[in-house]
Amino acid sequence: MNLSRGNQIELLQSGGEFFPALCEAIAGAQQLVHLETYIFALDETGQRISAALCAAARRGVSVRLVIDGFGSRSFVDSQLDALTAAGVEVMVFRREISLLSLRRQRLRRLHRKLACIDGRLAFVGGINIIDDHDTPGQTPPRFDYAIRIDGPLAQQVRQTQENLWRTLRWSQLRSRTHAHAIKLPAPSHAGKIQARLVLRDNLRHRRDIEDAYLEAIAHARHEILIANAYFLPGRRFRNALLEARQRGVRVTLLLQGRVEYWLLHHACNALYPQLMAAGIRIVEYRKSFLHAKVAVIDDNWATVGSSNIDPFSLALAREANVIILNADFCHKLRSSLQAAIADGGHELSANHWQTLPPLRRLLSWTAYSLLRWLAERLAPPH
């Protein structure tokens, strides 16, 4: 999509800032609330958002909810009737049937997190509808980001959601249900920020998010700072970072330090030697679970969204990132990431890999090979 001008974009850190902002926006909705999420949990946060959606529907607002059939499978089984009874229209993206299936479609999930209010406000990021503390053994909250958009870019978010809504309604033979069009005025300019919504799907936009990263990395002159929960890039992405480092660009990766998904964690570790040998700085975030998918490059390029840098996000799932071209926003995001590094980061030493036991290194390479094989098997044909 084209670059959007005239936006005000607010950075929201973790659920402590995101959920109050989302609830306030839903409470102020007059015509439309449209929410998409991968996980909709049954915890206190999920109940809070459900109550806000139901209240909006009861006062006559058109409320649409799209949830992923795998990430929200417990929600699908237990909560749909209550939402529907309140007037919320719910669609399930790829309802999960078998937990053991290895069909290609199994991992083509709706992983993006989008919300649009009256076509004038939008939220984009990596935060699911789940409590920040809803992870076993965790005390500090999950570390993540979203943005609140006020301005023309919100219309692009709305159109993106509308396109998927129509597709799901058609695929689920519900084309005659709730087919009324919701006409909303175009949002006016609310600020001076230029931004672009970048999508990933398995049709027209297969490489759009990865290509946006690669273009920005190729033009980097001073600094690349990437924070990503699941970092397992392909050869093109790794080479781009190595070439940037050869040009003298400072490259810092803030990655997951705690083991949340065993296979992914150890596979990511297999890439550390190549990256660190080139002088790329790797910091593991260990204070809590890192779920962020953000980056800052130089002084005027940043991205916040749902896409990890791994085969599942970059080659299988539906994702949505926003690219922000604004020095003030970049400064705020960089400062937040630097504070996280100082507070909860552990920088790995240059000989980190050599100090690991041989069995641990073998485990990492085995996990990496298995995940790459799995991704190639499940990726859509070109």
Q: How many C-beta neighbours within 10 Å does residue 314 have? A: 24
Q: How many C-beta neighbours within 10 Å does residue 59 have? A: 12
Cα–Cα distance measured from residue 143 to residue 81, given in angstroms and rounded to the nearest whole number: 32
In the 3-class helix/strand/coil scheme, how is the chain assigned residue by residue? CCCEEEEEEEEEEHHHHHHHHHHHHHHCCCCEEEEEECCECCCHHHHHHHHHHHHHHHCCCEEEEEEECCCCHHHHHHHHHHHHHCCCEEEEECCCCCCCCCCHHHHCCECCEEEEECCCEEEEECCCECCCCCCCCCCCCCECEEEEEECCHHHHHHHHHHHHHHHHHHHCCCCCCCCCCCCCCCCCCCCCEEEEEEEECCCCCCCHHHHHHHHHHHCCCCEEEEEECCECCCHHHHHHHHHHHHCCCEEEEEEECCCCCHHHHHHHHCCHHHHHHCCCEEEEECCCCECCEEEEECCCEEEEECCCECHHHHHCCEEEEEEEECHHHHHHHHHHHHHHHHHHEEECCCCHHHHCCHHHHHHHHHHHHHHHHHHHHHCCCC
Answer for the pair 195, 155: CB distance below 8 angstroms, yes or no.
Answer: no
Backbone φ and ψ for 214, nearest 5 degrees, come out as -60, -40
Tokens 């990430």 -> residue:
71
Answer for the pair 259, 267: CB distance below 8 angstroms, yes or no.
Answer: no
CA atoms within 13 A on the CB side of 66: 25
> Known catalytic residues?
111, 113, 118, 291, 293, 298
